[in-house]
Structure 1
């Protein structure tokens, strides 16, 4: 009985070692590029936070087909090659927080697998529907603290989205209200950055949409009321309709 227990313990220990070997921890290791020569083919997680990596090359992950998570947070990454993740069909989590990206990377090869995308504290100024088209499994998108002026209506673009973090971003004060009523959206209490002067009239008719100005807390509800002029708004087919 004792020998059997010893054998089970030995097998369990080997299993733990195998799991541990599947994680490459290169945090604060002084890397200036992705250390591809140190990766085993069974690696499923690569952690390269707080290094000096500036570029993700197209062949950095050619030998890591089991990769499910890659974090290169707090690195001066400026570019990511279009085919960088072509050989990572199982990639589920991608961490690019605190880098120096000025645009949304081309992640076409992981559209069908990515679940979490962390891109806060970058230099991204533009965010369009095309940037996230096809992310059918994406549940968490963090673009907080980027200089983004506007963003598309996310309700029908990302069907699996559960959390969309846009905190620390100052928006134009006249945005279609329906874009900001997504229940998964996380934004600042007073996200208006410009124009500096906001009148007491809450709703303005522009084209076929009524647009929304605010300088008070925005409540993400199906219907809401504002203290500005006693105006109340309800969401309709073409955006919000407002009454005074």
Structure 2
């Protein structure tokens, strides 16, 4: 257990020391919400402002992009040498990929808790009031799922670049269908049904139901689906991770 903690601590510090990731998780979401909220102001009515909509939707987008952080923490070139030393140490194979998942999850989780506070107090984003805890629970499990997804893809494709190209394309499509950048609900019933194929749409609907309807019926199913997906992804990491491929 101590060996795993030491690996996890080093993985976490590698992320904290990376200026690009610090900007990406702390400053970029806030700036993006500010810009989108300003330019789309007045487009979402009175009850839900543009800052409310993008404050929630773009935080989902950011949570899902924890997958790229997981991939970076696993296979970035400057980290590979340290990882190879771990591979040839007496630590279990699972310590390598589990520590990457845990480190990218914690790094992203801390950043987005801070970002949520900034969005609420600076832009007045409605994050649920007394129901904020439920919003954070859903996003927390989404971040864990995304972290596991990034590491799992690295285990399969053996390349950070290939993994990030695939993830960025897939996540962007899912977020477009999910209405993260703009709602597609006005394009007719057929488009709405297609959008429901995106898990991002489920998460977005769940969060808006919590915040504006005080409806918690979708919370448990969403969390269970994301948690089950995380378990499956970790299982796939175990299947596809081989020391000889990594070397």
For the superposition of Structure 1 and Structure 2, which TM-score range results when normalised by the shorter chain?
A: under 0.3
Higher Cα Rg, which structure: 1
TM-score, structure 2 as length reference: 0.24
TM-score, structure 1 as length reference: 0.25
Whose helix proportion is higher, 1 or 2? 2
